């Protein structure tokens, strides 16, 4: 057996080009699995650890103002474990050497010590000293974005009053893993801060002495969460409670969960697609490879080797290649997981992120790769081993050929001998040809999937920021404000247009489905923030009904014409039934829209507005922002271009990186398949090619046969590749749909072109390699060998 | 010695050395040989005698290490690959032991592979008729017997009306009856054309149908014999 083992290694050495190409295919599948699973595992574990070690609360509630004495009563509610009351206040900040407005949230902590729930993870400095005024702990991302360190000072406006704050420390919190502003989609660390302050000091600054406006609590084991929330709502109603919410609705947690869901989709769909494709390709390639060894197998049998020994021999060869590919995939997967996780660490602020590859993922990927290889080789080995050994002794029997239908057509007459050879070669084994074409088509489909992701994300952002969010600035007021404030805004320098809005927190209820969101009141024909349908046409808002984002409507199970129960969580906290007038296709976020006057009526208020959207003359932008910053009624100034930049950067760094990785992988897989097909075909045909050379054909003439076959295979694969790719895209689009965003299923010529060009480029590269081989072909040696 | 006008191919001091790792193999050690127009010559030798190497050089498949090779007025000794390709394309026909037909082409198409690129070829039909395969024009190699496949290979070789037909063990893969049938075809073709034909073989019997027999041994011409009576292929036996 030692000679046979040596042969195994020699075969591997001889087949190194093909083995490497197969290994790349396997590696691609393994890499996507390792990458997705490692990322998912790292984020999930980090989340669990951080939540547990820092006592992340399970239920949250906001009130307008409630006496601290209430806490003791709440503590006694059945199912409640720990309760922590605190003060939260919006804050506007001025950071040295930074011109744009910075918004933030001030959160109180017990004087001089850690809170019981939602504890801080101090990275530098210390908690504010009890009794010392103006000390705060800052969120690490904000501090890092401005290069702030403990001891630095910033200017703040709390409840309209200027204060100077000193940083005592820098910290992370399980409550703010994802630190996006209340109306932002992605974090902007330079313009949004979380600050923790001693309770006495903050209550004093915000007029909350002896009172609280935020509550968080944990539940006893086995407690009924819904029951606790109902009891809380009842107890807090008269203090202006806006409805307690479970952890699931806590903003930071929800974003992280969305992201993890996204990761889960990636972790299931992409590796499945890649591994299936690589298993299939492996099957194609390995069975053809073994096919070329039939003579050798027969010879070994003639020597007296047993079938099982030979099966082991070739199975072992396949496993060696699998191991090579698996190692490659694990290495690349671990490396890219590290890189990707670094990007995620930027958006999700964990105290530590570790990326061990889960052992089960190693085992699973190895098992899958090995199984697919064995499935690929098993049949081929069995067929080869089953052949009688006499085959090796006979001169090679010419293979059977027939005329193909194409040749009998008028076009066929135009074919030269080279064309006929190519066509018959492909037509001789339609099954093999179909397999090769399918293999290339699958990789073309993967290429298309990557290209689609890149294009569709771009389209999604274009639609959101060019067609829907047309304003330059979103102003948010501290409180509902009379409509006439709009007139004042319009007179500010640089304001080209101003459009009012009103937003009210509400729970939408349909049957047993409930969704916490906000009702946004708009003008009848909003211009700066139109509500657009699937074709991008702006729709006027109906006088009465609600317009919902389609994703939200589908989640709630409502269609246009249905009635929705709306529980408003502000003011009189009314419940109302509103008809659903239409569903609209907005790609980012979810929303419920109605006319502002309808919302005002619902709130039993006059024509109040919660804020305004501004269209701004770029020349006066800086001056305008400075002027807005001086208005005490303004709680927040959202800069849309900054928001767009943030979202684009976020998607560029996460999804787009994935997409690029996949385009590269799909390209390598296409190359791997075509190379193997061509290489095997070359081996099968070298005798014929040499004969032609000897007969006086030039190498250029002979190369036409070789290239013709490669290009024809690639050409055949492009159309089915597009079909397969469209399927992959639909699958991914569906899997990626979330509250956060929906990637539209669009197909641009560019997407098709990238897929086709990828195949053509891979074919051309392979063609080049085959030409090099043809030029080095030793015609005499090939002819002398009885094959 | 010879009439120069009749000489198609002339070698002088032809050698061919190969390097195999650290040893140099002297496959040909200086061969002087003239091939005359229209003659049937048999190159006879055991394996390792250098006969295949000589055939490769004569056919322009390989280049000599030293010595000279002239085809008519052309010096092929230092010809480029391109010139050798042209030489093979227009002047030389090959017949191999294992036929080397293109499996995906019919008999007619296999011959057409050569007629497509020749200056003044026979039609494939004529060439195949010459070897007695006019009934098998549209058969694929897999539908032909070994002897028939070899006759297709011969038709393919003569279709370009070569000056030189080189046959490398043309009967090596055939049983003796079929082999003789193939030799009869070669003999007939030789009689009907002025193509110079060289058959290399280790089978001494085949020498009996030749005009001259060149005995090769250890890379040298050991001697040239002229059979007392050129026998017909049909009379041969082995």
In chain B, which residues have their Cβ closer than 8 Å to the Cβ of A417?
Answer: 105, 109, 112-113, 116
Does any domain span residue A425? yes
The residue ranking higher by pLDDT, B172 or A11, is B172
Contact B116 A416 (CB under 8 A): yes
**A9-18, A771-780, B142-151: the lowest-pLDDT one:** A9-18
Run of H or E residues at A194: strand A192-198
What's the total number of domains in chain A? 3
Sheet holding A59-67, edge to edge: A80-86, A211-219, A59-67, A245-246
The answer to whether residue B96 neighbours chain A at the CB level (below 8 Å) is: yes
Structural domain containing residue A188: 57-251
Give me the mean pLDDT over the A232-255 stretch: 88
Does any domain span residue B214? yes
Contact B140 A402 (CB under 8 A): yes
Q: Which residues contact A540 (CB under 8 A, 6 or more apart)?
A: A524, A525
Q: Which of A251, A268, A295 is the last residue of a domain?
A: A251
B-chain residue closest to A393, CA distance: B173
Specify the 3-state DSSP secondary structure of B145: coil
pLDDT tens-digit readout, B49-92: 888 889 889 988 888 999 999 998 899 988 887 888 888 888 99
- Chain centroid to CA B163: 11
- What residue ranges in A661-720 does DSSP mark as E strands? none
Give me the mean pLDDT over the A531-552 stretch: 88
- Asked if A677 and A555 sit in the same domain, the reply is no
Residue A350 in contact with residue A172, Cβ under 8 Å? yes
Token match 């039939």: residue? A294
> What's A475's DSSP letter?
E
- Asked if A447 and A558 sit in the same domain, the reply is no
Does any domain span residue A65? yes
A420 → closest Cβ in B85, B109, B156: B109
B-chain residue closest to A687, CA distance: B100
pLDDT tens-digit readout, A425-459: 777 778 778 878 888 898 899 889 888 988 898 88
Q: Give the gap in angstroms from C-alpha B228 to the nearest C-alpha of chain A.
A: 34
Q: Which of B125, B189, B117 is nearest to B158 (CA)?
A: B189
pLDDT tens-digit readout, A270-317: 777 777 777 776 677 677 667 767 666 766 666 667 777 777 877 888
Q: What is the pLDDT of residue A786?
A: 46
Q: Which of A338, A343, A340 is nearest to A355 (CA)?
A: A338
In the predicted structure, residue A214 carries a pLDDT above the cut 90: yes
- Chain centroid to CA B155: 13
Does any domain span residue A352? no
Say how far apart CA A447 and CA A456 lie, in whole Å.
14
Contact B141 A398 (CB under 8 A): yes
Q: Which residues contact A24 (CB under 8 A, 6 or more apart)?
A: A325, A328, A668, A669, A671, A672
Angle of helix A251-291 versus helix A294-303 axis, rounded to 10:
60
Token match 């790292």: residue? A42
Say how far apart CA B13 and CA B8 lie, in whole Å.
17
Give me the mean pLDDT over the A199-226 stretch: 93
pLDDT tens-digit readout, A369-393: 888 777 767 777 777 676 655 554 4
Does any domain span residue A578? yes
Output the domain CATH number for residue A517. 2.40.40
Give me the mean pLDDT over the B87-101 stretch: 86
Beta partners for A608? A482
Q: Which of A222, A251, A280 is the last residue of a domain?
A: A251
Measured CA distances, A561 to A239, A423, A512, A581 (Å): 36, 60, 19, 6
B100 → closest Cβ in A421, A691, A701: A691
The answer to whether residue B145 neighbours chain A at the CB level (below 8 Å) is: no
- Asked if A425 and A532 sit in the same domain, the reply is no
Give me the mean pLDDT over the A245-258 stretch: 88
Specify the 3-state DSSP secondary structure of A519: strand
Q: What is the pLDDT of residue A382?
A: 75
B109 → closest Cβ in A397, A417, A693: A417
With 0-12 / 13-18 / 19 or more C-beta atoms within 10 angstroms meaning exposed / middle / buried, residue A124 is middle
Give me the mean pLDDT over the A135-142 stretch: 94
In the predicted structure, residue B134 carries a pLDDT above the cut 60: yes
Q: What is the pLDDT of residue A2?
A: 60
Say how far apart CA A295 and CA A391 lie, in whole Å.
7
The answer to whether residue B117 neighbours chain A at the CB level (below 8 Å) is: yes
Say how far apart CA A622 and CA A472 lie, in whole Å.
12
Structural domain containing residue B200: 37-62+90-235
Give me the mean pLDDT over the A502-522 stretch: 90
Specify the 3-state DSSP secondary structure of B216: strand
Q: What is the pLDDT of residue A402?
A: 65
Q: What is the pLDDT of residue B56?
A: 86
Token match 């073989």: residue? B201
In the predicted structure, residue A734 carries a pLDDT above the cut 50: yes
Q: Which residues contact A438 (CB under 8 A, 6 or more apart)?
A: A280, A284, A717, A720
- Asked if A65 and A187 sit in the same domain, the reply is yes
Give me the mean pLDDT over the A716-724 stretch: 93
Contact A417 B113 (CB under 8 A): yes
- pLDDT band at residue A395, thresholds of 50, 70 and 90? very low
Does any domain span residue B228? yes
- pLDDT band at residue A636, thresholds of 50, 70 and 90? confident
Contact B85 A786 (CB under 8 A): no
In the predicted structure, residue A24 carries a pLDDT above the cut 80: yes
In chain A, which residues have their Cβ closer than 8 Å to the Cβ of B94?
Answer: 694-695
Residues in chain B: 238
In chain B, which residues have their Cβ closer than 8 Å to the Cβ of A697?
Answer: 85, 89, 113, 117
Q: What is the pLDDT of residue A534?
A: 74
Q: What is the pLDDT of residue A783?
A: 65
Give me the mean pLDDT over the A104-109 stretch: 93
Does any domain span residue A389? no
Q: What is the pLDDT of residue A1?
A: 45
In the predicted structure, residue A741 carries a pLDDT above the cut 90: no
The answer to whether residue B94 neighbours chain A at the CB level (below 8 Å) is: yes
- pLDDT band at residue A183, thresholds of 50, 70 and 90? low
A-chain residue closest to B108, CA distance: A417
Specify the 3-state DSSP secondary structure of A248: helix
- pLDDT band at residue A394, thresholds of 50, 70 and 90? very low
How many Cβ atoms sit within 10 Å of the Cβ of residue A17? Answer: 13
Q: What is the pLDDT of residue A737?
A: 82
Q: What is the pLDDT of residue A785?
A: 53
In the predicted structure, residue A787 carries a pLDDT above the cut 50: no
Token match 């080789």: residue? A377
In chain A, which residues have their Cβ closer than 8 Å to the Cβ of B48?
Answer: none
Q: What is the pLDDT of residue B10?
A: 94
Give me the mean pLDDT over the A54-60 stretch: 95
* Pairing relationship of beta strands B66-71 and B7-20 according to DSSP bridges: antiparallel
The answer to whether residue B56 neighbours chain A at the CB level (below 8 Å) is: yes
The answer to whether residue A190 neighbours chain B at the CB level (below 8 Å) is: no
What's the total number of domains in chain B? 1
Token match 């910033």: residue? A154
| Main-chain phi, psi angles of B130, to 5 degrees | -60, -30
Contact A696 B173 (CB under 8 A): no
Which two three-digit tokens encode residue A241? 């409670």
Q: Output the DSSP codes for A722-779.
A: HHHHHHHHHHHHHHH--SSB-------HHHHHHHHHHHHHHHHHHHHHHHHHHHH--H
| Main-chain phi, psi angles of B132, to 5 degrees | 80, 25
Contact B102 A691 (CB under 8 A): yes
Does any domain span residue B5? no
Contact A687 B100 (CB under 8 A): yes
pLDDT tens-digit readout, A320-349: 888 999 999 999 888 888 887 777 788 888
- Asked if A74 and A187 sit in the same domain, the reply is yes
Does any domain span residue A557? yes
Q: Output the DSSP codes for A299-353.
A: HHHHHT--HHHHHHHHHHHHHHHHHHHHHHHHHHHHHHHHHHHHHHHHHS--S--
Does any domain span residue B195? yes
Q: Which residues contact A407 (CB under 8 A, 6 or more apart)?
A: A413, A415, A420, A423
Angle of helix A359-386 versus helix A294-303 axis, rounded to 10:
70
Output the domain CATH number for residue B177. 3.40.50.300
In the predicted structure, residue A638 carries a pLDDT above the cut 90: no
B-chain residue closest to A785, CA distance: B98
Q: What is the pLDDT of residue A354?
A: 80
- Asked if A101 and A246 sit in the same domain, the reply is yes
Q: What is the ipTM of this complex?
A: 0.71
Residue A255 in contact with residue A740, Cβ under 8 Å? yes
Q: What is the pLDDT of residue A571?
A: 78
- Asked if A504 and A577 sit in the same domain, the reply is yes
- Asked if A423 and A558 sit in the same domain, the reply is no
Specify the 3-state DSSP secondary structure of A440: helix
Does any domain span residue B85? no
Mutate to test the interface with B, among A686, A691, A777 (most CBs of B within 10 A): A691
- Asked if A529 and A453 sit in the same domain, the reply is no
In the predicted structure, residue A777 carries a pLDDT above the cut 90: no
Measured CA distances, A584 to A466, A539, A593 (Å): 16, 9, 10
- Chain centroid to CA A747: 19
Say how far apart CA A704 and CA B226 lie, in whole Å.
47
pLDDT tens-digit readout, B204-232: 999 999 999 999 999 999 999 999 888 99
- Across chain A, mean pLDDT equals 85
Q: How many CA atoms lie within 13 A of A696 on its CB side?
A: 24
Contact A399 B114 (CB under 8 A): no
Specify the 3-state DSSP secondary structure of A67: strand
With 0-12 / 13-18 / 19 or more C-beta atoms within 10 angstroms meaning exposed / middle / buried, residue A399 is middle
The residue ranking higher by pLDDT, A461 or A388, is A461
Does any domain span residue B24? no
In the predicted structure, residue A627 carries a pLDDT above the cut 60: yes
Q: What is the pLDDT of residue B199?
A: 94
- Asked if A185 and A99 sit in the same domain, the reply is yes
Give me the mean pLDDT over the A631-653 stretch: 83
The answer to whether residue A397 neighbours chain B at the CB level (below 8 Å) is: yes
- Asked if A584 and A732 sit in the same domain, the reply is no
Say how far apart CA A513 and CA B41 lie, in whole Å.
98
Q: Which residues contact A36 (CB under 8 A, 6 or more apart)?
A: A263, A266, A267, A270, A271
- Asked if A227 and A88 sit in the same domain, the reply is yes
In the predicted structure, residue A398 carries a pLDDT above the cut 70: no
> What's B229's DSSP letter?
S
Q: Give the gap in angstroms from C-alpha B105 to the nearest C-alpha of chain A.
A: 7
A-B Cβ pairs (cutoff 8 Å, strict) = 87
């Amino acid at each position: 057996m030692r000679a046979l083992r040596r042969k195994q290694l020699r075969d591997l050495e001889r087949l190194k080009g093909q083995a490497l190409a197969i290994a790349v295919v396997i590696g691609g599948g393994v890499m996507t699995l390792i990458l997705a699973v490692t990322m998912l595992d790292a984020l999930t574990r980090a989340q669990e650890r951080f939540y547990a070690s820092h006592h992340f609360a399970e239920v949250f509630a906001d009130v307008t103002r409630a006496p601290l004495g209430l806490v003791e009563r709440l503590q006694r509610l059945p199912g409640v474990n720990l309760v922590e009351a605190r003060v939260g206040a919006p804050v506007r900040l001025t950071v040295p050497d930074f011109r744009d407005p910075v918004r933030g949230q001030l959160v109180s902590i017990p004087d001089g010590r850690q809170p019981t729930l939602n504890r801080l993870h101090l990275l530098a400095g210390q908690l504010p000293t009890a009794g010392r005024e103006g000390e705060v702990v800052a969120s690490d991302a904000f501090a890092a974005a401005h290069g702030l360190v403990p001891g630095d000072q910033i200017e703040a406006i709390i409840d309209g009053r200027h204060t100077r704050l000193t940083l005592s420390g820098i910290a992370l919190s399980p409550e703010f893993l994802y630190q996006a502003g209340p109306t932002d989609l992605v974090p902007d660390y330079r313009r949004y801060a979380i600050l923790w302050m001693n309770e006495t000091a903050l209550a004093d600054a915000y007029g909350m002495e002896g009172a609280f406006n935020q509550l968080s609590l944990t539940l006893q084991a086995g407690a009924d969460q819904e029951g606790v929330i109902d009891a809380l709502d009842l107890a807090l109603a008269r203090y202006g409670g806006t409805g307690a919410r479970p952890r699931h609705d806590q903003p930071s947690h929800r974003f992280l969960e969305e992201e993890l869901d996204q990761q889960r989709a990636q972790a299931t769909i992409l590796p499945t697609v890649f591994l299936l494709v690589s298993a299939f390709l492996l099957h194609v390639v390995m069975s053809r490879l073994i096919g070329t060894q039939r003579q050798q197998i027969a010879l070994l049998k003639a020597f007296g080797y047993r079938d099982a020994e030979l099966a082991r021999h070739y199975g072992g060869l396949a496993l060696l290649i699998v191991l090579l590919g698996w190692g490659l995939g694990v290495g690349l997967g671990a490396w890219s997981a590290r890189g990707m996780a670094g990007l995620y660490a930027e958006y999700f602020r964990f105290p530590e992120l570790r990326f061990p590859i889960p052992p089960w993922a190693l085992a699973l990927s190895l098992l899958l790769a090995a199984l697919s290889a064995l499935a690929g080789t098993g049949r081929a080995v069995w067929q080869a081993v089953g052949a009688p050994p006499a085959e090796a002794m006979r001169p090679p029997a010419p293979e059977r050929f027939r005329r193909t239908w194409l040749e009998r057509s008028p076009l066929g007459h135009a074919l030269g001998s080279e064309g006929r050879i190519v066509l018959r070669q492909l037509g001789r084994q339609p099954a093999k040809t179909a397999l090769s074409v399918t293999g290339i088509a699958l990789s073309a489909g993967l290429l298309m999937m990557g290209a689609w992701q890149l294009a569709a994300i771009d389209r999604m952002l274009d639609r959101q920021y060019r067609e829907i969010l047309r304003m330059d600035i979103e102003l948010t007021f501290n409180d509902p404000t009379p409509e006439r404030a709009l007139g004042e805004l319009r007179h500010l320098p640089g304001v080209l247009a101003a459009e009012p809005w009103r937003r009210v927190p509400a729970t939408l209820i349909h049957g047993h489905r409930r969704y916490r969101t906000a009702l946004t009141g708009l003008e009848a024909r909003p211009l700066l923030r139109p509500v657009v349908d699937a074709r991008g046409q702006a729709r006027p808002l109906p006088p009465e009904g609600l317009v919902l984002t389609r994703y939200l409507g589908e989640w709630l199970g409502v269609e246009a014409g249905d009635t929705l129960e709306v529980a408003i969580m502000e003011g009189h906290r009314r419940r109302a039934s509103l008809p659903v007038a239409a569903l609209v296709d907005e790609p980012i976020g979810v929303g419920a829209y109605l006319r502002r006057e309808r919302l005002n009526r619902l709130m039993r208020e006059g024509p109040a507005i919660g804020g305004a959207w501004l269209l701004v003359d770029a020349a006066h932008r800086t001056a305008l922002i400075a002027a807005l910053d001086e208005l005490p009624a303004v709680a927040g100034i959202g800069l849309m271009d900054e928001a767009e930049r943030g979202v684009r950067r976020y998607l560029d760094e996460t999804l787009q990186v994935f997409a690029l990785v996949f385009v590269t992988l799909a390209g390598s897989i296409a190359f791997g398949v075509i190379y193997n097909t061509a290489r095997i075909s070359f081996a099968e045909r070298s005798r014929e090619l040499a004969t032609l050379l000897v007969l006086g054909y030039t190498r250029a003439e002979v190369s036409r046969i070789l290239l013709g076959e490669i290009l024809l295979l690639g050409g055949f694969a492009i159309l089915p590749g597009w079909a397969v790719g469209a399927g992959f895209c639909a699958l991914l689009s569906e899997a990626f749909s979330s509250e956060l965003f929906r990637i539209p299923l669009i197909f641009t010529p560019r997407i098709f072109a990238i897929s086709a060009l990828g195949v053509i480029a891979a074919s051309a590269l392979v063609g080049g390699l085959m030409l090099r081989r043809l030029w080095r072909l030793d015609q005499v040696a090939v002819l002398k060998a009885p094959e | 010695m010879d009439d120069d006008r009749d000489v198609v191919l002339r070698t002088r001091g032809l050698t061919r050395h190969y390097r195999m790792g650290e040893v140099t193999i002297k496959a040909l050690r200086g061969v002087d040989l003239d091939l005359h127009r229209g003659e049937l010559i048999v190159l006879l030798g055991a394996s390792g005698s250098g006969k295949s190497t000589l055939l490769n050089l004569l056919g322009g498949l390989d280049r000599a290490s030293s010595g000279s090779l002239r085809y008519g007025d052309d010096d092929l000794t230092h010809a480029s690959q391109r010139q050798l390709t042209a030489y093979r394309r227009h002047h030389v026909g090959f017949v191999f032991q294992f036929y080397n037909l293109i499996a995906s082409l019919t008999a007619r198409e296999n011959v057409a592979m050569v007629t497509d690129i020749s200056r003044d070829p026979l039609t494939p039909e004529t060439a195949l008729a010459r070897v007695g395969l006019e009934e098998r024009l549209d058969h694929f190699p897999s539908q032909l017997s070994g002897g028939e496949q070899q006759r297709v290979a011969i038709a393919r070789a003569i279709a370009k009306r070569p000056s030189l037909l080189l046959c490398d063990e043309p009967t090596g893969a055939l049983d003796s009856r079929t082999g003789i049938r193939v030799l009869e075809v070669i003999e007939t073709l030789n009689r009907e054309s002025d193509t110079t034909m060289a058959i290399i073989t280790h089978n001494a019997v085949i020498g009996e149908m030749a005009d001259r027999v060149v005995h090769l041994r250890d890379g040298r011409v050991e001697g040239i014999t002229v059979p007392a009576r050129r026998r017909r292929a049909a009379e041969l036996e082995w």
